[in-house]
Chains A and B, each alone.
Chain A
Amino acid sequence: MQHSRSISRNLALVGGVAAALFAASPALAVGGLPNATPVADRVDGLYNLIFWITFIIFLGVWCAMAYILVKYRHRPGRQAIQTHGNTALEIVWTVIPALILIAIAIPTYQVLNYEDKAPNPDMTVQAIGHQWFWEYKYPDQKLDFSNQDLVIPANKVVKVLVSSVDVIHDWAVPEFGFKLDAIPGHVNEGWVYAKKPGDYDGYCMQLCGALHAKMLTHVKALPEAEYVTWLHDQQKAAGVPETPAFGVVAQPPSTTGVSAETTPSKVAAAPAKPALTSPAALKAQGEKVYGANCASCHQANGQGLPGTFPPLAGSEYTNGAADKHIQTVLKGLNGSITVLGKPYNGAMPPWAQLTDDDLAAVITYERTSWGNHGSVVTSDQVKAQRGK
């Protein structure tokens, strides 16, 4: 039953695996992303501190083990040294790790304090998670975008308020060292100071349903002057009055105030509430609601995405019975359906959280755009379908 001849082979393999791991480990130290914010600089510094401490512990234990496995391997006649312990040694290897942990905890606490307390913000943006896109609001500038890049100025402190209207999402930009869960009913606050202009990848990092992996975003940091120009262009296009780009913090941004603004019923952000009586008014309002909630999947032109999101242009749903269309939007869809002869198997979330007016508007918009010839839908019809 002895296999001592294979020992040298085993040890050579141990050495091989060890060498491969040692070679891979420094990749952990340098494989990081460029640090685009001062927070990321500090997180990176802390990472490197912990990396070198743990790497030295790792090397120490592995070298000790390699030495022991070679030196004390079985040979004929070898007697094991019978020992039950060594109190002094055991105290040493209890106390030293405790001291090392304190050495890690102190700088950790400093970085935590730095990243947790935002300096005076120059401006505020809201990142609002939807299945499966991000809506960005500039509350002081009265702007609201869905499914587009977030545009911010470089070298300015931007307060970011993260929230969600449906399930839990997470707004994360690794190069910023920024990651916050977007939890319905909560508003989480963080801050970003991009050190230089550039494009940064962002991700939804909390499992949020079927298309979690497609919930990508980008942050575009512009030089200050370019940002101001961009902002005023956007305000002109949206028909809102021009405002200063920075420093407009009119109301103290209390958490409750923001939370009220992000409650589901206000997603569409209809400014004043005109009575949506005429089909034209319905359709105009519907276009806004569509842009904010539907276009990310079904696309602005109503064509959907082949194989993933069914088209609304020419579809059986948008040209058929109004009640079925209303039910689909209210309750969502799950499982396989056929649209224009093609199979789809995804999930459409329910939109019952929108108001009757907004639902009537968006459904009317869908039924009368892109060559569709469905009927106009009123908010009374939507209300009637809610209970069913």
Chain B
Amino acid sequence: MSVHPASVHPHAAETPTWVKWLTTTDHKKLGVLYLVTAFFMFLVGGLFALFLRAQLEHPDNTLFVREQYNQFITMHATAMIFMAIIPMLIGFANFAVPLLIGARDVAFPRINAISYWLLPFGALMMFSSFFLGGAAGGGWTQYPPLSGGMFSPGRGVDLWILGLHILGVSSIMGGLNFIVTILNMRAPGMTLHKMPLMCWTVLVTSWLQVIATPVLAGVLTMLLFDRNFGTSFFRPEQGGDPLLWQHLFWFYSHPAVYIMILPAFGIISEILPVFSGKPIFGYLAIAYSSVAIGILGFTVWAHHMFATGLPASIRAVFMFLTMLIAVPTGIKIFSWVATLWGGNIRFYTAALFAISFVAFFLIGGLDGIFLASIPTDVQLTHTYWVVAHIHYVLFAGSMLAIFAGLYYWFPKMTGRLLNEGLGKVHFWITIVAMNVTFFPMHILGIMGMPRRYFTYAPQFAPLNQMESWAAFALGAAQLLFVFNVLWSLKKGEKAGDDPWSGNTLEWTVSSPPPPHNFDVIPTVR
């Protein structure tokens, strides 16, 4: 192709947009990259969930059975936890925290870029297993000996371990970055007690990532060595103990649940005051209850192991500590309700998602009390009750908060508002379908239906069928959201600097903000 003389103009040398995105170290662009990548993984994880619901639509279905079904449950959970929910929340932290504290970027922008780029490669490493002999099928908890070399001889578990290692490195680096940023780079006058609550939750989450993830890395390496190099940490025939895996795995994975919910608490604590038109109720109580949840989160792991035959005295200690977590969680719920009280509540889609978070996360919190009390836990654990509980925490909790955050900050990210009409349709289908999908799982659990079964007895059929069709509707509603995003990017209403009458620093700059965020670093009084 011949070069037109005009294109030799100096402007032609300007970097193309896509190269700018691939090489950026700007926290706002990285935040958007995190959100886009992780939302794509949310759709992938959701597709796996729909495969599972399709299989469970009627008993004795033969669509996805046996090893394949186990691979799908494993990859559904792994994708949702490690590649969708955690990175979407990190995406919000990336986009919002420097703006919220009045900083020009995070402390280590290049490390921030590495943290992001490890995510797609970790995901590729894990999903490549489907083309290299089959994915891991031991469930996302990967209990040995099932995940050991003798019972999972393929490469799936090894690729799962290595992929998770990569995501773990990303998580540790990201955590360090945000600890340093939040502690050192707040605008003059912004003491810790004046810092927006989102930043408090990101700070606590970052500590959880930095403290807990190395334990996960250790236990994953032990399994990798058991599988490939003849060690026997978890192999009973050589003197190892499968329960050791469970202790170490849950020492990470219980705090991981808080990594998935604390930033969601932060998002809600930013959004509810704005749409109530008044300050958050009980700022300090909310801030320090996050700290309490973070600390207590390290002391409750064995409540995942109440049916493993641990002595009653040990289980009782873990039960009391687990129940204790209900207190700071309750403080948050009551404070959010009180924030709405006396307000001037504007029902935009972002507000609807935030309010429904409070209403439905409550169910996830309350049904957790049944799982803290040992005798009821033993009755309900390993059944669909647990599936109901985790989805009321991670969908009715984390995901509703993520949607609230997306509707809230989309105008700041792009300069345009998401369409409110489509948003409301998305909201109502999501809320109804979510409850019809997940609520009856409580009843299945009481009836004794075990989780991770690819088929079931006829008495479980009606509720399963209902859940499957509701799940399909839930999936379809998310495509509507994707359409809304694509449409609004081109044709959405112009947002202006401050479409919601917000009261934090990001609303004082343009939408999208300039690369350096603030022309003059603001001073907080």
Contacts and interface: CB of A to CB of B under 8 A. Distances in A.
Interface of A: 1-4, 6-7, 10, 13, 17, 20-21, 24, 27-28, 31-33, 39, 42-43, 46-47, 50-51, 54, 57-58, 61-62, 64-65, 68-69, 72-75, 78-86, 89-90, 93-94, 97-98, 101, 104-105, 108-109, 111-113, 115-116, 131, 162, 166-168, 170, 172, 174-175, 177, 179-181, 183-186, 188-189, 201, 203-214, 264, 332, 334, 346-347, 349-350, 353
B212 to A, nearest CB: 23
Nearest to B143: A168
A74 B346 contact: yes
A105 B320 contact: yes
Given A17-B432, A167-B145, 19 more contacts: A42-B375, A43-B378, A54-B367, A54-B369, A58-B362, A65-B340, A73-B345, A75-B344, A79-B344, A84-B281, A90-B282, A93-B331, A94-B331, A101-B369, A112-B316, A166-B145, A183-B243, A184-B236, A186-B243
Contacts of A4: 347
Contacts of B383: 174, 205
A213 B453 contact: yes
Contact of A47 (B344, B370, B439, B443): B370
A111 B285 CA distance: 34
B348 A54 contact: no
Interface in B247-287: 276-285
Which 4 A-B pairs have CB atoms at the shortest separation, nearest pair first?
A185-B236, A174-B448, A81-B342, A188-B309
Given A24-B439, A72-B341, A17 B347 contact: no
B366 A204 contact: no
B369 A50 contact: yes
A51 B335 CA distance: 24
Interface stretch (B3-11, B92-100, B111-119, B147-155): B147-155
B interface, over-half SS: helix
A64 B448 CA distance: 34
A184 B283 contact: no
Nearest to A9: B424
A68 B337 contact: yes
Given A32-B446, A65-B337, A203-B450, A90 B382 contact: no
A72 B376 contact: no
Nearest to B443: A31
Given A112-B315, A116-B312, A43 B379 contact: yes
B502 interface: no
A162 B279 CA distance: 56
Interface of B: 66-67, 69-70, 137-139, 143, 145-146, 150-151, 153-154, 236-237, 240-243, 276-285, 307-309, 312, 315-316, 319-320, 323-324, 326-327, 330-331, 333-335, 337-338, 340-348, 352, 355, 358-359, 362-363, 366-367, 369-370, 373-376, 378-379, 381-383, 420, 424, 428, 431-432, 435, 439-440, 442-443, 446-448, 450-457, 493, 499
A120 B327 CA distance: 40
A82 B343 CA distance: 8
A225 B137 CA distance: 46
A46 B376 contact: yes
B283 A85 contact: yes
A187 to B, nearest CB: 8
Among A33, A73, A75, A101, the one with the most B-chain Cβ atoms within 10 Å of its Cβ is: A101
Contacts of A180: 307, 309
A69 B275 CA distance: 12
